[in-house]
Structure 1
Amino acid sequence: MTRLLGRLGGWCARHGWIVLVAWVVVAAGVMGASLAFPSPTSSDASIPGTDAQRAHDLMKTGFGSGYGTAGTVQLLVYSPDGALIEDDRKKAVETSMDRLRTMPHVKQVDTPFRKGGISSNLQIGLITIKLEGNDSDQIADTTQELSKAADPARAAGLEVVPADASNPADKEIKTGPSEIIGVVCALLVLVFAFGTLVAAMIPIFVALVSVATGLGVIGLLGWVVDMPKQAGIMATMIGLGVGIDYALFLLSRHRRLLAEGVPVAESVRRTVASSGGAVVFAGGTVIIALSALMLAGFPLLATLGWVTGISVVAAVLTSVTLVPALLGLLGHRVNALKVPLLRGGGTSGTGWAGLGRWVARRPWQVLLASALVLGALAAPALALKLGAIDEGYGAKGSEPRRAYELMATGFGPGFNGPLIVVAELPSKVAGAEDPIVDNLTREVEDVDGVKYVGDPKVNTSGRSVLLQVIPEYAPSDDRAAQVVRDVRAISVPGVQMHVGGKVAGLTDAGDRMAERTPLVIGVVVLLSALLLLLAFRAPVVAIKAAVMNLVSLGAAFGALALVFSIGLGTGLVGMDPPVNSSYVQTVFFSVPIESYVPLMLFAVLFGLSMDYEVFLLTAVRQSYLRHGRNSRAVAEGLGSTGRVITSAALIMVAVFTAFVAYPDSMVKTFGVGLAVAVAVDATIIRGFLVPATMVLLGRLNWWCPRWLDRILPNLSVEGHEEDEPSVRREEPVKVGV
């Protein structure tokens, strides 16, 4: 593989303008097409095979679209100055209802001045609008149009908010300041690392081309697959981080070779042959980890996984083609525009090599100290609280949060997450008064935590009944999930019950994640270790690398628990506290973490952690093959990679931290988790723990059974023969059979 990459890098360096123009045209083309024809995003979190999905399907087929989320719109009307039933206010509400009845697709408008339609203080009312023939994909736009039709009520001093306040402008998380902040921080790190503006700009330019290409492809794919609203921002976050890092690794190697007097063309070829191979393997581990999310049984998670993988593929491709093209075009001008007072670009790594020698002299002490620190960082993970994040945690002042607060105040927190019970009956019934329907309704009403059960509705075939059940608890309350389980546990002879709705769907998602998590983790660890085995032909190194990555994950989950579950900093990351919170609660309050986030975070972090492992092991392996002295190889490997890995980690931490400013809670959790994990991985783990374990293992690091060495394909990632053609290659250490 190294020879193939070397030839590719050499060709790109000789035909730099062709490669550069081709990439710019491709990036501009796909990005322009996706902007000109923006694809819809989907908030569908359905999970095939679950009880909630079965309830949804039965409701749709047995009762029609009018009973689904796309068939009903509710408007909350609030009178801050008095009762809604006063003549002027009531007349304004009725005028708004008359206008609503004239809107397209409106089948029925239910007045708030009905039983269950107005709050006990008579200040909050609920207008329910049933639709037919509308496009379910355009429900957010339809909701906003219906809300505008209620302007007569607003003119009378009333507040009108859609209960499901889905604004079309908010369907997709837009790119913006966070990306700019992340890029600026990355540029500053690169300037300090290289000391020249030209060299610093290369990784930034390559990453921007990579991200633009990836986002363009993702945007166009949104026309053929359901694309979550977080897809673009997740791809941007990961794409920026790995895109800059991969280009940084290549550029650092190239500048070091130039400093040693290697001609430009030969330097580019060697760089792509060696560091390019490391980039390909590192990117491969990220893609493998993300692809394993398809085994989670959660379509939303699987889509986020392969969509993020597209950005990683784009980063790898631009690194091994566009970077050598730019290096070939620039030649020695890569070191132009030096920044005064900044040395940058040092290649000796004496400080990191000194750290390596220090660790080599006391490996047991370093191992013990590192384990204690990492254990302390991971300990809070025991308090990690998984659950649903409802609109009550949304940005203060936003329509969804305002609607949530009005609904909870007027009708109770459970009205924000009603359960939909769909029961298949053993025989046809005449109507809702049938004894079996009455028995079913009473059984549901008797469940602890159920506040209200609506009037049962029997479909036209008389074989299915639908009940709307209002829990006493908010959707994010753990007790709401228990109500779902208790309702499902009801046993009525001959009746098959299914419970759907938002809370039921989230409960099923949590159960599915708990069921599939061991499988996903096992596949990711196994395949990543196998890829490392192919790269280094060293079973011990492959297994150890997988274990080290799991250690860094513990620190990430500990940070998430500390910030969100324990609440020491939710206010600091931009989460708005609940209404009527005390001063302390405005800064420190607990926020649940969506059940699928840890698994997604695991896949991303495992892949990213493997990046640094590959680059460090590559350098150590090269040194070991030159002289065969393990402790010295560890020190030299750390010395040659410490500076660049630290710079790469600082860039990733800056990029991920910048995304904490996003209003979306999932993006915030990813930003915190990724930033902490990368920082810990590049310092404690790669600087202390990995060198200490490698020193202690000695020659076992590179041990490979003869039978395994014979059957493994030769996919060496080091490219050692490319850099040191005059040095005799030594065979891997082989012990046993």
Structure 2
Amino acid sequence: MSGLLGRLGGWCARHGWIVLTLWVLAAGLLTAGTLVWGRPVNNDVSIPGTDAQRAHELMREGFGPGYDPGGTVQLVLYTANGTLIDKSRKQAVEQSMDALRRTPHVAEVETPYRVGGMSSSMRIGMITVRLKGQDTTKLAQTSEQLVTAAAPAVRAGVEVVPSDSSTPADKQIKTGASEIAGVVFALLVLLFAFGTLVAALVPIFTALISIGVGLGLIAVLGHVVDVPSTASILATMIGLGVGIDYALFLLSRHRTLLAEGVPVQEAVRRTAASSGGAVLFAGGTVVIALSALMFTGFPLLRTLGWITGVSVVCAVLTSITLVPALLGLLGRRIDALRLPLAGRLARRDGPATGWAKLGAWVARRPWRVLAVTVVVLVALAAPAVTIKLGPLDNGYGDKGTPARRAYELIEAGFGLGANGGLVVVAELDRKIAGSTPPDPVVQVLRQRVEHTDGVAFVAPPEVNENGRSVLIQAVPDYAPSDPRALDVVKRVRAIEVPGARVHVGGQVAGLADAGDRIMGRTPLVVGIVVLLSALLLLLAFRAPLVAIKAAVMNLVSLGAAFGALAVVFSQGLGSRLVGMDPPPSAEGSHLATLFFSVPIDTYVPLMLFAVLFGLSMDYEVFLLTSVRQAYARSGDNRSAVAEGLGSTGRVITSAALIMVAVFTAFIAYPDPLVKVFGVGLAVAVAVDATLIRGFLVPATMVLLDRLNWWIPRRLDRILPNLSIEGHEEDGGPAEAEPEPVGAGRHARA
């Protein structure tokens, strides 16, 4: 494989203008297409086979227009002076409702002057607008049109705020300042690492082209498949980080070869053959980890996984083609515009670096380093047991946004549970009529729901057109993010009425089912990710213990990341520091305002696991590649570990700094979901690049000694030879490579 990558890199270097033009054209055309045809998103949270999904299906069968949760918008009305029943304001509200009825796709408008439509103070009310035939991916635009139609009420001094059934995770996230901040910090790190402006700009340019192509492809896919709104932001976060990192690894290797006197074209070929292979395998582990999300049984998470993987594929492709093309075009000018105060990456055969000294220090006392590192990592991971999973409602949204304002008004006027109502739909064994008085089955069902512990209000039942199902809307006592709301869902689902089968839908019920489905599939997904990633490492290094150890090390760094999430969000010790605002229910207490817990959506840990496991494997691949090459030259495991850490330490540190900076920059986003991802990714990468790669991995490799490269003879014979180290590409006399312990004559690294 290294030979193939070497030939590809050499061709790209010789035809640099062609490769550069093709990539720039691809990025430009896809970006232009996005501007012309848009970037549709669809946060379809349906989960086939769940109770909430069955309730939503029944809701669409004969209960009138707009009984799809995605097709309903509530306009929350508020007046600070007087009440909504004052004559002038009531006339303005009624005029607004007439205008709403004339708005396209509006099927029904329910007046706030109905039972349950007005708060007890008469200052807060809700106009329920049921839609039909509209594009559900454009609910935000539809809400803006409805607010515009309600202009008569606004002119009368009534505040009109749209509220829909989405959550912060559903909102369209716009990119901007955070990406710029991440790129600027990455440029500073690269300037310090390389010492020249030209060299520092190569990874930045490559990553931007990769992101442009990736986001364009995601936008195109949005026209044929459901693409979640969070896909573009996750693709940008991950694609920007790995895109810069992969180019950094290639560029550092290329400059080392140039410093050794290797001609430009040959240096590009060797770089693509060695570091290009490491990039390919590292990117492959990220894609494998993300692809495993298809086994979650949650369509939204499955799509989010493979769509995000598109950005990683683009990063790998640009690294093994565009980077060699740029290196070939620049030639020796890669070191142009040198900055006198900045350093340069150390040459492999240069004087001992700080990382090399650290590697030698660890190699002399592996047991003590192992013990201390394990204690520190256990302490970092310990808070993870307190992590608080649950729905994330609009009460945690950014203050000043319509979603947060609507949430606050609804809670103030109608109670905590009004923002997350339950939709109880019962299938009936016989046909009934929707007459007055209601059928005995309907009466019993309503009484059972009313007397369920945790239910605050129950609306009058509705019977569908064919008389075979009944719908009851209920309001719980608790906010959607309160774990007790999930208990209410379970209690309502446990209701047994002869002649009726009860189903519960709505936001809270849907999220409860999503959590149950994901929790049930988590062991399967984790097992697939770990096994496939270990298999990929086994193919790369032909060392079973190295592959198993790498998987275990990645799980350790994940524990530290989840521990940080628990401290910041679940324990609330850093929720203010990351820019979170307390929910309305916590604003009365000064202490709660400073320290308040934030629930983490149930699917976030699994998504983070997939992303972090893949990213952690990146540094493992680059470190192991260097150690293996050093071992092949000397046959001394202890010195090979120290040399490998010394030759990659500064590069990995620079790459980790860049990735941490990119992820940290995204914490500034107002969306709480992005903040959770930013904190988790930044902490995991920081821990992985320091404690794991700097201490734990070298210590264990020294202790294992030659067993690092042991492989059973039978396994050695059947494994394909997929070397990623490219020894044959280095030129000059090759040192005899020590045969792996237990391997036969076919063993190669």
Aligned to 1:635: 642
CA contact (8 A) 1:140 1:166 kept: no
1:734 to 721, 741, 749: 741
TM-score, L = length of structure 1:
0.97
- Residues 257 and 136 (structure 1), Cα distance of their counterparts in 2 relative to 1, 3 Å cut: closer
Deviations 1:255-313 (A, max 9, x none): 11111111111111111100000000000000000000000111111111111111000
Moved more, 716-725 or 656-665: 716-725
Matched, 1:314 2:314: yes
Q: What's the offset of the Cα at 1:105? A: 3.7
- What does 1:496-511 align with in structure 2 at a 5 Å threshold? 496-511=501-516
Q: What's the offset of the Cα at 1:178? A: 0.5
Between the aligned partners of 2:397 and 2:672, the Cα distance in structure 1 is 8
Aligned to 1:230: 230
CA contact (8 A) 2:167 2:393 kept: no
Aligned to 2:715: 708
Moved more, 648-657 or 137-146: 137-146
Q: What's the offset of the Cα at 1:71? A: 4.1
Aligned to 1:717: 724
Matched, 1:575 2:559: no
Give the partner amino acid of 2:537: L
Between the aligned partners of 2:72 and 2:552, the Cα distance in structure 1 is 50
- What does 1:149-228 align with in structure 2 at a 5 Å threshold? 149-164=149-164, 171-228=171-228
Between the aligned partners of 2:23 and 2:71, the Cα distance in structure 1 is 45
Between the aligned partners of 2:568 and 2:174, the Cα distance in structure 1 is 25
2:418 to 401, 412, 415: 415
Aligned to 1:54: 54
- What does 1:14-29 align with in structure 2 at a 5 Å threshold? 14-29=14-29
Aligned to 1:664: 671
Matched, 1:692 2:695: no
CA contact (8 A) 2:480 2:508 kept: yes
**Alignment partner of 1:261: what SS?**
coil
Q: What's the offset of the Cα at 1:391? A: 0.6
CA contact (8 A) 1:47 1:53 kept: yes
Aligned to 2:522: 517
Give the partner amino acid of 1:512: R
Give the partner amino acid of 2:374: A
2:429 to 426, 433, 437: 426
- What does 1:20-99 align with in structure 2 at a 5 Å threshold? 20-99=20-99
- Residues 137 and 638 (structure 1), Cα distance of their counterparts in 2 relative to 1, 3 Å cut: closer
TM-score, L = length of structure 2:
0.96
- What does 1:253-292 align with in structure 2 at a 5 Å threshold? 253-292=253-292
Between the aligned partners of 2:136 and 2:355, the Cα distance in structure 1 is 59
CA contact (8 A) 1:533 1:542 kept: yes
Moved more, 635-644 or 80-89: 80-89
Give the partner amino acid of 1:713: P
Give the partner amino acid of 2:122: L
1:476 to 459, 470, 481: 481
Q: What's the offset of the Cα at 1:147? A: 1.7
Give the partner amino acid of 1:443: R
CA contact (8 A) 1:296 1:512 kept: yes
CA contact (8 A) 2:716 2:743 kept: no
Between the aligned partners of 2:380 and 2:550, the Cα distance in structure 1 is 19
Give the partner amino acid of 1:359: V
- Residues 101 and 25 (structure 1), Cα distance of their counterparts in 2 relative to 1, 3 Å cut: closer
CA contact (8 A) 2:710 2:743 kept: no
- Residues 176 and 135 (structure 1), Cα distance of their counterparts in 2 relative to 1, 3 Å cut: closer
- Residues 424 and 641 (structure 1), Cα distance of their counterparts in 2 relative to 1, 3 Å cut: same
Aligned to 1:594: 601
Deviations 1:440-466 (A, max 9, x none): 111111110011111111111111111
**Alignment partner of 1:73: what SS?**
strand
Give the partner amino acid of 1:492: V
- Residues 308 and 391 (structure 1), Cα distance of their counterparts in 2 relative to 1, 3 Å cut: same
Aligned to 1:558: 563
Between the aligned partners of 1:105 and 1:268, the Cα distance in structure 2 is 59
Aligned to 1:356: 359
Matched, 1:369 2:372: yes
Matched, 1:396 2:399: yes
Q: What's the offset of the Cα at 1:546? A: 0.2
Between the aligned partners of 2:135 and 2:341, the Cα distance in structure 1 is 62
Q: What's the offset of the Cα at 1:126? A: 1.6
CA contact (8 A) 2:65 2:130 kept: no
- Give the aligned CA root-mean-square deviation in angstroms: 1.7
Deviations 1:685-722 (A, max 9, x none): 00000000000000100000100000000001111221
CA contact (8 A) 1:165 1:403 kept: no
Q: Where in structure 2 are there 5+ consecutive unaligned residues?
A: 745-749
Deviations 1:546-587 (A, max 9, x none): 000000000000111111000011111111112334444333
Q: What's the offset of the Cα at 1:64? A: 4.5
Q: What's the offset of the Cα at 1:431? A: 2.0
**Alignment partner of 1:61: what SS?**
coil
**Alignment partner of 1:66: what SS?**
coil
Q: Where in structure 1 are there 5+ consecutive unaligned residues?
A: none
CA contact (8 A) 2:70 2:165 kept: no
**Alignment partner of 1:717: what SS?**
coil
What percentage of residue pairs aligned between the two structures are identical?
69
CA contact (8 A) 1:513 1:595 kept: yes
Between the aligned partners of 1:165 and 1:487, the Cα distance in structure 2 is 20
CA contact (8 A) 2:165 2:507 kept: no
Matched positions, count: 736
- Residues 456 and 699 (structure 1), Cα distance of their counterparts in 2 relative to 1, 3 Å cut: same
Give the partner amino acid of 1:551: V
2:545 to 540, 545, 553: 540
Give the partner amino acid of 2:691: I
- Residues 131 and 211 (structure 1), Cα distance of their counterparts in 2 relative to 1, 3 Å cut: closer
**Alignment partner of 1:128: what SS?**
strand
Moved more, 198-207 or 338-347: 338-347
Give the partner amino acid of 1:530: L
- Residues 374 and 401 (structure 1), Cα distance of their counterparts in 2 relative to 1, 3 Å cut: same
CA contact (8 A) 2:346 2:353 kept: no
**Alignment partner of 1:42: what SS?**
coil
